[in-house]
Homo-oligomer: A and B are copies of this chain.
């Protein structure tokens, strides 16, 4: 099937509520409908959109989790995909026989396309989730090749690089960027550092980047909004959204631009210009000597 060259992508910025699975499921379906009505065929919801983020206990995390296959929230969102003829990337707490993961599901009209389990856990996520061991898969959809990252992953350039080398055109990032622990949350033009990290992923890898952040505060943890969509030459296409308001960002993407951006000059191709022979083994270098 030839891949369409243009798609319409949306990111949804809103506030799920921790532990409120039923209303979070309804909220997600509503945002999927709103984005589809705006013309989107690929829609990104925030990290842990099914469960909320700041758990108070392992019991609450467990109660808020579900399997990827047949989980109640994902089942409802798949129904929304079927209803609207769209694909959705959404964060959920995944329960598995091997433990809980902070996961992102790629959902389509016919069901779960795939799941990415967050590799880099942030702060108290280390109490509630296992780190993902499955690497960084790329999903070959009719509308393009989609890779997934989650939140803190964007500070690890290895992750996006693996996606780009596996052929991703679009990196979708459900996120819950946290304002706490930061000396400075926004700069004078309303960008948070996560926005710069998204630009980095785009310009270093010549991929589209779509980050859907949440807003609001849970148990003293504040989220920063600032959802955004970045083009494959690194320039911001739309956003950052505001820090505290709901937002629906929509952008028409010409996927051919991701390929074109890799041809930096007539004599340069940014992926083929890599020099793996002089990178040492980034997989083996020990950080033990670090401060």
Seen from chain A, the residues whose Cβ lies within 8 Å of a Cβ on chain B are: 119-124, 126, 131-136, 152, 155-159, 161-162, 165-167, 180-184, 187, 189, 193, 196-197, 199-200, 203-204, 233-236, 259, 262, 264-285, 287, 289-291
Secondary structure of the A side of the interface? loop
Q: How far, in angstroms, from A181 to B268 measured CA to CA in the complex?
A: 11
Q: How far, in angstroms, from A273 to B166 measured CA to CA in the complex?
A: 23
Contact B204 A289 (CB under 8 A): no
Q: How far, in angstroms, from A110 to B14 measured CA to CA in the complex?
A: 59
Give every chain B residue within 8 A of A272 (Cβ-Cβ).
287, 290
- Give min CB distance, A99 to chain B, whole Å: 16
Picked from B183, B200, B233, B289, the residue with its CB within 8 Å of the CB of A233 is B183
Give every chain B residue within 8 A of A273 (Cβ-Cβ).
120-121, 152, 156
- Give min CB distance, A254 to chain B, whole Å: 12
Give every chain B residue within 8 A of A290 (Cβ-Cβ).
165, 167, 262, 269, 271-272
A119 and B275 contact, Cβ closer than 8 Å, known pairs A233-B184, A282-B158: yes
- Give min CB distance, A160 to chain B, whole Å: 8
Contact B281 A283 (CB under 8 A): yes
Residue on B with the closest CB to A124? Answer: B267
Contact A122 B265 (CB under 8 A): yes
Q: How far, in angstroms, from A131 to B272 measured CA to CA in the complex?
A: 14
In the complex, besides A155-B270, A193-B203, 12 extra interface pairs with C-beta distance below 8 angstroms are A123-B267, A158-B161, A162-B279, A162-B280, A165-B282, A184-B233, A187-B235, A187-B236, A259-B291, A262-B290, A276-B284, A282-B282
Contact B123 A184 (CB under 8 A): no
A278 and B136 contact, Cβ closer than 8 Å, known pairs A155-B270, A156-B204, A291-B259: yes
Contact B136 A285 (CB under 8 A): no
Picked from B184, B280, B282, the residue with its CB within 8 Å of the CB of A235 is B184
- Give min CB distance, A77 to chain B, whole Å: 26
Q: How far, in angstroms, from A178 to B135 measured CA to CA in the complex?
A: 36
Q: How far, in angstroms, from A167 to B287 measured CA to CA in the complex?
A: 9
- Give min CB distance, A156 to chain B, whole Å: 6
Give every chain B residue within 8 A of A274 (Cβ-Cβ).
120, 156, 158, 287
Q: How far, in angstroms, from A265 to B178 measured CA to CA in the complex?
A: 11
Give every chain B residue within 8 A of A167 (Cβ-Cβ).
289-290
